């Protein structure tokens, strides 16, 4: 990939370890602008954490309010039960109730819109398919197909100034991401993974379980559960 | 296409002739749910017209607020000049300043999200490429590529319950759409095409010029400019 310091990138930032690490990868070579979505999550904590990460790296950022009033997912609908205490061997084997219909398609589409106006050449997303293969919109074949659609459907694409979707963590495991984040100086104390918005991570939801596994396998202490 | 009355469809409704006609086509065979976007348009008139059309057909509808704060288009940014008094031969030959970066990609993505939750099998869009080939996100090759992306990126797609993007007007001219709308009983007095939000259409923007041409060629009187 021919990248240069001057080229701008949009980074989709969620407040979790993956997108934070993604930002630290992107900022090595690009001027990054962070896009944070306020889409009716169960709690505000991840938005505040995402903001802190953007501020920490002195990256300009926008928080975009987006209503998806039809719910259909345990991540937005407090009436739906979040899976908890699932065995590791179960996680990622099916499409879980935390799947948000169309989420990455929508987030990337909006990121592309901003990229086009800003003249950014890249949209970074921290998705990875290895631990979380249950989410169809985190898979390589989705990103490849979506890339083709935006080349056809944008002025930038039609004029040959392609905006590239970059998912640098796609084939990494959580522990590889933790190690990479550590090396790049990601402030893990400013990342939030838990699906719930308590004062401390619940330790029982899929996201907490995968985070714990990631830190453990990486041999690194998680500052959030000290 | 194997369609049945029972199958639900989402129809993207803008308040113009094209999407209104599209709704009247879709409702022949489907239970339609209309999706109207309030995305910072220069005026509220087209949203009110879209609502009226949905109500007229007794279709359930949602108005979704969406902020695209980066502008980059004369349709959202009042500081940018709308093209006016352009010759017909010029319109559609370039990408005009009214192009909204990523618009149909975003609208379709959100429509797909609702379709997936609702169990709808189709998302209808009134785009057409013949008069307005200047917009890259109104072209057949974009829709085809986007269709592939959503098959890969949604639970519905992965499970074989594909949500189909339907653009029934894609190869129609404006006058063919007017004739078709007339035949289907579209209440043209409840459609708004003008990019400006005056009491009456300006008659000078690209959209007014194309509407006028459409009605004229169809030999039908436009109730808005009687």
* A3 assigned to some structural domain: no
Lowest mean pLDDT among A124-128, A153-157, B22-26: A153-157
* B1 assigned to some structural domain: no
| Domains identified in chain A, total number | 1
Computed on alpha carbons and rounded to an integer, the radius of gyration of chain B in Å comes to 17
ipTM of the complex: 0.91
Chain-centre distance for alpha carbon B131: 14
* B104 assigned to some structural domain: yes
* B2 assigned to some structural domain: no
Provide the H-helix boundaries in B119-173: 140-153, 155-158
* A1 assigned to some structural domain: no
- Dihedral sign from CA coordinates of B167, B169, B174, B179: negative
Q: What is the dihedral of CA B170, B68, B95, B199, to 10 degrees?
A: 80
CATH of the domain at A82: 3.40.50.620
* B54 assigned to some structural domain: yes
The C-alpha atoms of residue B76 and residue B39 are separated, in whole angstroms, by 8
Q: What is the pLDDT of residues B23-73, one digit of tens each?
A: 999 999 999 999 999 988 878 888 999 999 999 999 999 999 998 888 777
Q: What is the pLDDT of residues B133-161, one digit of tens each?
A: 678 888 999 999 999 999 999 988 888 88
* Residue B224 pLDDT > 70: yes
Q: Which of A65, A69, A136 lies nearest to residue B157, judging by beta carbons?
A: A136
Query: Number of CB pairs < 8 Å for A and B?
Result: 143
Helix (H, G, I), strand (E, B) or coil at B77: coil
Chain-centre distance for alpha carbon B212: 18
Q: Which of B69, B70, B153 lies nearest to residue A137, judging by beta carbons?
A: B153
* A88 assigned to some structural domain: yes
CA distances from B177 to B10, B45, B172, B181, B186 (A): 20, 22, 6, 6, 10
Work out the widest C-alpha separation in chain A, in whole angstroms: 52
Beta strands per DSSP E along chain A: 8-13, 31-38, 61-65, 122-124, 164-166
Q: pTM of the entire structure?
A: 0.92
Mean pLDDT throughout A140-150? Answer: 95
Lowest mean pLDDT among A64-73, A102-111, B87-96: B87-96
Residues 31-70 of B with CB under 8 A from A: 62, 64-70
The C-alpha atoms of residue A49 and residue B224 are separated, in whole angstroms, by 51
- B102–A95 CB contact, under 8 Å: no
- B117–A145 CB contact, under 8 Å: no
Q: Which of B64, B106, B110 lies nearest to residue A113, judging by beta carbons?
A: B106
Print the domain residue range for B111: 8-219
* B76 assigned to some structural domain: yes
- Dihedral sign from CA coordinates of A18, A24, A27, A33: positive
């Amino acid at each position: 990939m021919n990248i240069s310091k001057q080229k701008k990138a949009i980074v989709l930032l969620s407040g979790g370890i993956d997108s934070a690490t993604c930002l630290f990868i992107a900022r090595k070579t690009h001027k990054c602008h962070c896009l944070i979505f306020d889409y009716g999550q169960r709690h505000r904590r991840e938005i505040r954490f995402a903001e802190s990460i953007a501020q920490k790296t002195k990256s300009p950022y926008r928080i975009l309010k987006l209503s998806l009033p039809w719910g259909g997912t345990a991540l937005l609908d407090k009436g739906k039960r979040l899976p908890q205490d699932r065995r590791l061997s179960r996680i990622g084997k099916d499409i879980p109730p935390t799947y948000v219909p169309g989420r990455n398609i929508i987030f990337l589409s909006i990121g592309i819109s901003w990229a086009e106006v800003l003249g950014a050449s890249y949209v970074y997303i921290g998705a990875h398919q290895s631990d979380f293969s249950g989410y169809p919109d985190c898979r390589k074949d989705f990103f490849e197909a979506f890339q083709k659609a935006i080349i056809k459907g944008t002025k930038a694409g039609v004029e040959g100034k392609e905006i590239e979707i970059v998912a640098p963590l796609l084939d990494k495991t959580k522990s590889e991401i933790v190690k990479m984040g550590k090396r790049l100086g990601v402030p893990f104390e400013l990342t939030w993974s838990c699906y719930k918005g308590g004062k401390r991570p619940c330790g029982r939801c899929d996201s907490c379980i995968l985070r714990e596994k990631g830190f453990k396998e990486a041999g690194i202490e998680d500052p959030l559960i000290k």
